[in-house]
Amino acid sequence: MNEVSDVRDWLRASPRVIALTGAGMSAESGIPTFRGLDGLWRNYNPQDLATPEAFERNPTVVWEWYDWRRGLIAAAEPNPGHYALAQLEATNHVSIISQNVDGLHTRAGSTHVIEIHGSIWRTRCTSCDRTQSNLKPHLTTLPPLCEDCGQLLRPGVVWFGENLPPMAWEASVEAVSTADILLVIGTSGIVYPAAQLVPIAKDAGAKVVEINLEATALSSQVDATLLGPSGQILPKLVQ
Ligand code: BJW
Ligand code: ZN
């Protein structure tokens, strides 16, 4: 069985496509994943960097890590996988639910992108909640302070133990509930509630296809797994 050509046929018969993407989607752009061999969590402890408690303890250390990642991402380009998903909009109704904070889907031209873990390009005031877009690769002073109230700004991302932005989460549940096919791309599927979108889609009748270098926590729930780099598989699916 040629699974790539089978999934290509499924896509042709699926007007509404949802893609749930994770760090593996951007790996071929040179952005490290979290849990892979050279993943961010191999060198850094998430408890020290990606929790509200870590930020309260040491905002400068957390900001230095995010500022380093901003520099990496600013220097990166979308890869053929990002462009293939953007190109799919020519033939299908496509929404992307991304756990990534890098903004590369939008840079590749995708127009319906829900960022469920926020964006590294936004800051939010810890006091007055003012949210701002800041596209500079590096911030001038760390930690940055709010121009309105002078209090500490934080990265506009979702840390462990924090709720996802309610509107983004509701839109995601709605999207997978009405999907014909869900593509689950480059995610280990162990972070919740993002991973919950897979059973929600399945229960609502969507076909689920996983694209990953290896089997994941979600593999037993999907209709097909395409093993390989998403930057190579997605262009073949969209051809
Ligand atoms: C390729 C490839 C290529 C490589 N091609 N593939 C038990 C205890 C405590 C908490 C919990 C618990 N159970 C559940 C929770 C809640 C917690 C959670 O899920 N924890 C688990 C880890 C156990 N979740 C939360 O806290 C969430 N909030 C929440 O639940 O609110 C309610 C609540 C409130 C109060 C208390 C408790 C609950 C929020 C989760 C936020 C996650 N945040 C991060 C950081 C975002 C900002 C940032 O970027 O800095 O999000 S953590 C990190 O993980 C990041 C990612 O978006 C997320 C998912 O990772 P992802 O994308 O899957 O990456 P990897 O590295 O894991 O996988 C990469 C994959 O790609 C691999 O499979 C590779 O094989 C593959 N790959 N190259 C294709 N070329
Ligand atoms: Zn403020």
The residues annotated with a catalytic role in the active site are 117
Residue 83: exposure state from Cβ atoms within 10 A (0-12, 13-18, ≥19): buried
pTM assigned to the model: 0.96
CA-closest candidate to residue 156, choices 186, 135, 187, 173: 135
How remote is the CA of residue 110 from the centroid of ligand 1, in Å? 23
State pLDDT tens for residues 15-31: 999 999 999 999 999 99
Distance of CA 9 from the midpoint of ligand 1 (Å): 31
Percent of the chain predicted with pLDDT > 70: 98
Q: Could you tell me the pLDDT band of residue 239, with boundaries at 50, 70 and 90?
A: confident
Say if residues 164 and 193 touch (Cβ distance below 8 Å).
Answer: yes
Task: Give the CA angle between residues 88, 89, 93 to the nearest 5°.
Answer: 110
Residues framing ligand 1 (Cβ under 6 A):
22-24, 27-28, 33-36, 39, 50, 99, 101, 117, 157-163, 186-188, 190-193, 211-214, 216, 229-231
Tell me the residue type at 82: H
pLDDT at 1 over 60: no
When the pLDDT of each residue in the chain is averaged and rounded to a whole number, the result is 95
Higher-pLDDT residue of 193 and 40 is: 193
Note the pLDDT tens digit of each residue in 9-19.
Answer: 999 999 999 99
**Residue having the nearest C-alpha atom to atom 12 of ligand 1:** 192
* Rounded (10°) CA dihedral 164, 165, 171, 173: 20
Banded model confidence at residue 2, pLDDT cuts 50, 70, 90: low
Atom of ligand 1 nearest to the CA of 157: 47
Three-class SS of 114-183: EECCEEEEEEEECCCCCEEECCCCCCCCCCCECCCCCCEEEEEECCCCCCCCHHHHHHHHHHHHCCCEEE
Residue 18's pLDDT is 98
Domains and CATH numbers, the chain: 1-30+78-117+163-239 (3.40.50.1220), 32-75+122-157 (3.30.1600.10)
Predicted confidence (pLDDT) at residue 84 exceeds the cutoff of 60: yes
What pLDDT is stored for residue 45 in this prediction? 81
What is the mean pLDDT of the segment spanning 193-207?
98
Q: How many CA atoms lie within 13 A of 140 on its CB side?
A: 3
Residue nearest to atom 14 of ligand 1 (CA): 192
Query: 1-15, 141-155, 196-210: lowest mean pLDDT where?
Result: 1-15
Q: From 40, 47, 191, give the residue whose CB has the most ligand 1 atoms within 8 Å, as the site to mutate.
A: 191
Say if residue 67's pLDDT is above 80.
yes
pLDDT at 91: 97
Nearest residue by C-alpha to atom 23 in ligand 1: 191
Q: Which one-letter amino acid corresponds to residue 46?
A: P
How far is the C-alpha of 203 from the C-alpha of 76, rounded, in Å?
A: 37
Q: What are the tens digits of pLDDT across the range 105-150?
A: 999 999 999 999 999 999 999 999 999 999 999 998 999 999 999 9
How many H helices and E strands in the chain?
Answer: 11, 9
Q: Which two tokens stand for residue 193?
A: 């509630």
Q: Which is higher by pLDDT, 39 or 188?
A: 188
